[in-house]
Amino acid sequence: MPDPACVYCHTHVDPSDPSVYQRVTGWERKAFAFTRRGGSDIVLREPVTDTFACLYCIDKLKAGVNVSQETLL
């Protein structure tokens, strides 16, 4: 199995590092009134395997900078 890498900059990442992001696909399961039993609706998220991003790329994407088109100034 290849080492995990950032999907944007392709640098090696450690999945156990708290600053590494993993892509998730999410869906909501709306609970019915009779199955809720006092709780709220449940939001479920499923991680996508082997899809990680480093903190640097996530910060750039949040700022609106396309990581693949970034230049050095």
Length of the chain: 73
CA 45 from chain center: how many Å? 10
Tell me what pLDDT residue 21 has. Answer: 92
Assess whether pLDDT exceeds 80 at residue 53. Answer: yes
Mean pLDDT for all residues in the chain: 78
DSSP 8-class letter at 17: S
Q: Is the pTM of this model over 0.85?
A: no
CA 16 to CA 12: how far, in whole Å?
12
Which tokens in the block code for residue 29?
Answer: 């399961």
In the chain, count of helices (H) and strands (E)?
2, 2
Which tokens in the block code for residue 68?
Answer: 């693949």
Which tokens in the block code for residue 30?
Answer: 């709306």
